[in-house]
């Protein structure tokens, strides 16, 4: 082991989190409607598989793009040989236009300020390298995406300090929570370099309110720190309130010529909105030219292939396609989410009201044997191994309250979702029956104990009376 680096031998990757362990159990016994109908249903994976037919249909109609041709002539050699870490100009232009379209064209983005990365994972880590030193800290509101423990910390050495949010106000960020997290970091002798939020939230499935965004801008202005807004789910907002980008708030407040303008950075990806995680297309958008230049150099360690950029530049430049895709995708997400919520309600389970994302934040506190994270893990194991559903426990998302779970709905078919809800309802019904039987047993024991004590007391009184005679 002495010949290996500390990074190799350390245990800070987070792979032992229940978030990843659930995936491992699923992979051992994956559900298949024909080949393995008793297997584990994957509801811990935030993939959008509801609209694959739309880009597939576009590819069928656009043979030149799919075949790497331009005006009928092959450009395969050109794409195979070209690899500039600045990215293809046509793709960067198409991507920023798509980002503006998602935001209702209320804001525009300069293609010269965007850096292409191999997914949002790479984008977030690159920003950590650009903005912080090893041992510095970023503040993150809880609950947050479990992968951040890996993405932000593992190779960079940056620390995460939680901003504790609670169900009492639907897990919204408050000024006291922000200040307490900042003070906690200082008590640990950590220099706070910024705040990172996901908007829409993973795992909550909610969009941030304007007053929360204003609060964040005021906070980073006062503390002179950075703000990273991970907006990877911005195109999944399927109901009101609509999505408000941090860039829109900056412009509405006319902050373009202020120092804070260059300390706000956006992370984006096509993994969720277009359902293309395997294409590994992410991006950093920053108004700080120094950050853009450094991140561009760093991007050479995780480039997006020229072939992928060419194909997607053609797809995203087709405004008829993007408009139709977004409209249909929103309807499908809303329909599937409604079916999940309805299925949960039939099982006697509630969830946080949501309007975005590929998952729901589900409240199973009433199913815990005690108000502890140990009880949450017991419940999670029963759901994975007995019910055979892989969901993510709130503790893996650093939730401060036991009993919350993230349940994904967009990576499975409508029929599979229906089966999952049937399994869950049967489980909840069995828990209720067992609890009732347990309570009845306790009550009967209590009655027996009361009668026994009464008899004992009566016998003792009778014996004393006999002795006195």
Give residue 77's domain range.
73-322
Distance of CA 206 to the CA centre of its chain: 11
Please count the structural domains in the chain: 2
The pLDDT value recorded for residue 18 is 75
pLDDT classification of 449: cutoffs 50, 70, 90:
low
Sign of CA dihedral 313, 196, 404, 342: negative
Is residue 460 domain-resident? no
Q: What is the pLDDT of residues 97-129, one digit of tens each?
A: 999 999 999 999 999 999 999 999 999 999 999
pLDDT classification of 445: cutoffs 50, 70, 90:
low
Whether residue 146 is found in the same domain as residue 121: yes
Q: Which residues are catalytic?
A: 145, 230, 232, 272
Token pair belonging to 205: 């499935």
Whether residue 309 is found in the same domain as residue 365: no
The pLDDT value recorded for residue 435 is 63
Whether residue 313 is found in the same domain as residue 355: no
Which CATH number do you get for residue 204? 3.40.640.10
Residues forming beta bridges with residue 163, ordered by sequence position: 141
Phi then psi dihedrals of residue 197, to 5 deg: -130, 155
Q: What is the pLDDT of residues 411-432, one digit of tens each?
A: 999 999 999 999 999 999 988 7
**pLDDT over 60 at 366, yes or no:** yes
Task: Tell me the pairing of strands 137-141 and 159-163.
Answer: parallel
Is residue 358 domain-resident? yes
Whether residue 311 is found in the same domain as residue 383: no
Is residue 97 domain-resident? yes
The pLDDT value recorded for residue 69 is 87
Is residue 359 domain-resident? yes
Q: What is the pLDDT of residues 192-203, one digit of tens each?
A: 999 999 999 999
Is residue 85 domain-resident? yes
The pLDDT value recorded for residue 75 is 85
Is residue 254 domain-resident? yes
Which CATH number do you get for residue 344? 3.90.1150.10
Orientation of helix 373-382 relative to helix 18-28, angle to 10°: 10
Q: CA-CA distance, 57 to 66, in Å (whole number)?
A: 11
Q: CA-CA distance, 393 to 181, in Å (whole number)?
A: 23
Q: CA-CA distance, 332 to 330, in Å (whole number)?
A: 5
Is residue 189 domain-resident? yes
Is residue 283 domain-resident? yes
DSSP string, 272-306: TTSS-GGG--EEEEES-HHHHHHHHHHGGGSPPPH
Sign of CA dihedral 383, 384, 386, 388: positive
Q: What is the pLDDT of residues 17-52, one digit of tens each?
A: 777 788 789 999 999 999 999 999 999 999 999 999
- CA-nearest of 238, 264, 246, 240 to 210 is 246
Four-CA torsion 422, 427, 433, 438, nearest 10 degrees: -170
pTM above 0.85, yes or no: yes
């Amino acid at each position: 082991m002495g010949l290996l680096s500390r990074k190799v031998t350390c245990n800070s990757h987070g792979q032992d989190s229940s978030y990843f362990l659930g995936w491992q159990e699923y992979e051992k016994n994956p559900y298949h409607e024909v080949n393995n109908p008793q297997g584990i249903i994957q509801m811990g994976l935030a993939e959008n598989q509801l609209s694959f037919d739309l880009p597939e249909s576009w590819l069928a109609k656009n043979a030149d793009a799919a075949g790497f041709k331009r005006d009928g002539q092959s450009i395969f050699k050109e794409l195979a040989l070209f690899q500039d870490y600045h990215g293809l100009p046509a793709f960067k232009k198409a991507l920023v236009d798509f980002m503006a379209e998602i935001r209702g064209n209320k804001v525009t983005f300069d293609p010269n300020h965007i850096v292409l990365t191999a997914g949002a994972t790479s984008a977030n880590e690159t920003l950590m390298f650009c903005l912080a030193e090893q041992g510095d800290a970023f503040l993150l509101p809880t609950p947050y995406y479990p992968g951040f423990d890996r993405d932000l910390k593992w190779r960079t050495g940056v620390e995460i300090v939680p901003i504790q949010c609670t169900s009492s106000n639907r897990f919204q960020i408050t000024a006291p929570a922000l200040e307490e997290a900042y003070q906690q970091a200082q008590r640990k002798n950590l220099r706070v370099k910024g705040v990172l939020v996901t908007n829409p939230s993973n795992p909550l499935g909610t969009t941030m309110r304007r007053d929360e965004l204003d609060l964040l801008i005021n906070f980073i202005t006062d503390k002179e720190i950075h703000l990273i807004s991970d907006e990877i789910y911005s195109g999944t907002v399927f109901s009101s309130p609509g999505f408000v980008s941090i860039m829109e708030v900056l412009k509405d407040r006319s902050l373009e010529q202020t120092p804070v303008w260059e300390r706000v950075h956006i992370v984006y990806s096509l993994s969720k909105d277009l359902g293309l995680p395997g294409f590994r297309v992410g991006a950093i958008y920053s108004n700080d030219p120094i950050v853009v230049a450094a991140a561009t150099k760093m991007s050479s360690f995780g480039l997006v292939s020229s072939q992928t950029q060419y194909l997607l530049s053609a797809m995203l430049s087709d405004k008829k396609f993007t408009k139709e895709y977004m409209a249909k995708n929103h309807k499908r997400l809303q329909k599937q989410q409604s079916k999940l919520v309805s299925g949960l309600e039939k099982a006697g389970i509630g969830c946080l009201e949501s309007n975005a994302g590929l998952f729901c934040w589900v409240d199973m506190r009433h199913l815990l044997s005690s108000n502890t994270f140990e009880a949450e893990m017991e419940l999670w194991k029963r759901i994975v191994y007995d019910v055979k559903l892989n969901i993510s426990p709130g503790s893996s998302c650093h939730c401060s309250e036991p009993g919350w779970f993230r349940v994904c709905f967009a990576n499975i078919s409508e029929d599979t979702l229906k089966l999952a809800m049937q399994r869950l309802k049967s489980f909840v019904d069995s828990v209720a029956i067992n609890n009732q039987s347990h309570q009845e047993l306790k009550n009967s024991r209590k009655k027996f104990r009361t009668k026994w004590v009464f008899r004992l007391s009566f016998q003792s009184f009778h014996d004393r009376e006999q002795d006195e005679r």
